Amino acid sequence: MAPHTRTFTTYDGTARAYRTEGRGEPLVVLPGGPLRDPVRLGDLGGLSAHRTLVVLPARGTGDGAAPADPASHRRDRVADVEALRAHLGLDRIDLLGHSAGGDLATLYAAAHPERVRSLVLAAPGTHAVGIGVETSDEEGDTVHHGDGAFAPEATRRALRALTAPVLVLAGGDDHGPTPAEAAALAVCFPHAELLVQAGAGHVPWADDPGGFARPVAAFLDPEVRTVTVDGVRLAYRVRGPEGAPPVVLVHGRGGDSTEWRKITAELAADRRVYALDLRGHGLSDHPGEYGFAALRDEIGGFLKALGLAGATVVGHSMGGAAACLLAQREPALIGRLVLEDAPVFFPVLPPRGPAGLPEEPVAFDWAVLDATNADLNAPDPAWREELTAVTAPTLIIGGGPTSHLPQRHLAWMAERVPDARLVTIEAGHLVHAARPREFLSALREFGV
């Protein structure tokens, strides 16, 4: 959605302008940087694809509303944020503050903790809580910074009432706040998470757009949770009653956890369903290292991290291949295995060449293609030989003659896996999307 400029009236009768851009629920954005046009924020590295950004510039920045006096500058702006919340008709707001806007967001959270649903502080200022307010000069004397508008001790006390989750995001360098200062800031909040974005500086979405937008979007989405496996942050969605038998859904190449929504809605009636975003996909990290072996280890790490050993694992295509490799290597981790139109580790003919560059933006890391194509072109022969090591009862679902995968390979796999059965649902490669009822029926008959 294209940016729009709108106006509202603050507590003191001042007309203020704000800018909106994007789609989804509103996210109030407080930009940092004195007297700079907030247009420079862009769409925060693509965050506008997930939320409607509501950008409120500083007084005196572009909208002609100068502060009454320097000492009242931050006091006025806190009141302006509250007036904007009322104008938007929101009982509680999701709030993002950058740089000096982070100080303002912190002060707003201290003044109105009941009005904050979630808080993101991106490369934030730390003066509001007294971090970095005092330093020593070359002679060892204390130097005070700031304009006297902060009352750090009072702010810290007030923040104890904040029940909202907080994400403090710092760059990996020392261009403020340093990772240590960001960690000290996070401690000031009752429920805070610290994320250091390696390779990013004071404007993290400019240095690494996706590396900024993905974790922020995951944090802001109440349906999404995250876990770190071998240094890679993985996003996932979970539904269903706690304590119910677990089912883990693993998407194919280029997909993500959202493609399982219809399946999840049905299974969650009596199962605890976990839909995972694999590395390089969805809202998970893009570490640059891909391939079936890396994905195999990732699924295994995910099951261990969440205590899901013995779960049913349903994998589509690439996700199914990785799950199959895991079932071979660590049989005890998987209770039941479902492989939906998954490749069977025979070399692809003709071999696939380099993926080239995408013609349009894609929702996954394009490097996944070359890495997994290399495995498809020349799979490790042991992967076929070790199919007999799979001990989990296995359901192989083929998409029939319209699938691009040779269905004879699936039949061959069903003969090699000790406890496997083959079901064909003529839907092409995307069985669970094209024929969800038949797909669910096959799962239920299999005991899922």
196 and 277, same domain (yes or no): no
| Per-residue pLDDT at 174 exceeds 80 | no
- Of 301, 302, 300, 319, give the one whose Cα is nearest residue 372: 319
73 and 198, same domain (yes or no): yes
Q: Among 187, 222, 257, which residue terminates a domain?
A: 222
Query: What angle (nearest 5°) sits at the alpha carbon of residue 381, between those of residues 380 and 387?
Result: 105
Q: Among 192, 222, 252, which residue terminates a domain?
A: 222
234 and 346, same domain (yes or no): yes
The whole domain housing 421 covers: 225-445
For residue 427, the one-letter residue type is A
Under the banding of pLDDT at 50, 70 and 90, the label for residue 359 is: confident
196 and 234, same domain (yes or no): no
| Per-residue pLDDT at 63 exceeds 90 | no
Candidate from 12-21, 368-377, 431-440 with smallest mean pLDDT:
12-21
The CATH number of whichever domain residue 162 belongs to comes to 3.40.50.1820
pLDDT (average), residues 153-171: 94
pLDDT of residue 39: 61
pLDDT of residue 177: 86
157 and 251, same domain (yes or no): no
Under the banding of pLDDT at 50, 70 and 90, the label for residue 42 is: confident
**What is the domain count for the chain?**
2
| Higher pLDDT among residues 41 and 87, named by residue | 87
pLDDT of residue 145: 40
Structure tokens at 48: 């506008």
Q: Is 196 exposed, middle or buried (0-12, 13-18, 19+ CB in 10 A)?
A: middle
pTM summary value: 0.90
- Of 252, 246, 223, give the one whose Cα is nearest residue 313: 246
91 and 103, same domain (yes or no): yes
Residues in the chain: 448
pLDDT (average), residues 4-20: 91
345 and 271, same domain (yes or no): yes
Question: What CA–CA distance (Å, rounded) separates 235 from 49?
Answer: 17
177 and 209, same domain (yes or no): yes
331 and 190, same domain (yes or no): no
| Higher pLDDT among residues 223 and 11, named by residue | 223
Question: What CA–CA distance (Å, rounded) separates 44 from 47?
Answer: 5
Cβ-count burial 133-165 (b if 16+ within 10 Å, e if not):
eeeeeeeeeeeeebeebbebeebbebbeebebb
**Do residues 251 and 432 make contact, with C-beta atoms less than 8 angstroms apart?**
no
Under the banding of pLDDT at 50, 70 and 90, the label for residue 140 is: very low
Candidate from 83-87, 149-153, 233-237, 427-431 with smallest mean pLDDT:
149-153
pLDDT of residue 36: 53
282-311 pLDDT, tens digit each: 999 999 999 999 999 999 999 999 999 999
Query: What angle (nearest 5°) sits at the alpha carbon of residue 28, between those of residues 286 and 65?
Result: 130
pLDDT of residue 406: 96
200 and 251, same domain (yes or no): no
pLDDT of residue 393: 98
Q: Could you give phi then psi for residue 424, rounded to 5 degrees? A: -110, 125
Query: Taking all residues of the chain, what is their mean pLDDT, rounded to a whole number?
Result: 90
The contacts of residue 105 (CB under 8 Å, 6+ apart) are: 30, 95, 96, 97, 119, 121, 124
98 and 125, same domain (yes or no): yes
| Higher pLDDT among residues 215 and 70, named by residue | 215
Placement of tokens 């757009």 in the chain: 209
22 and 135, same domain (yes or no): yes
Q: Among 203, 222, 241, which residue terminates a domain?
A: 222
| Per-residue pLDDT at 61 exceeds 90 | no
pLDDT (average), residues 247-271: 97
Under the banding of pLDDT at 50, 70 and 90, the label for residue 148 is: very low
The contacts of residue 399 (CB under 8 Å, 6+ apart) are: 341, 405, 407, 424, 425, 426, 427, 428, 429, 430, 431
pLDDT of residue 202: 85
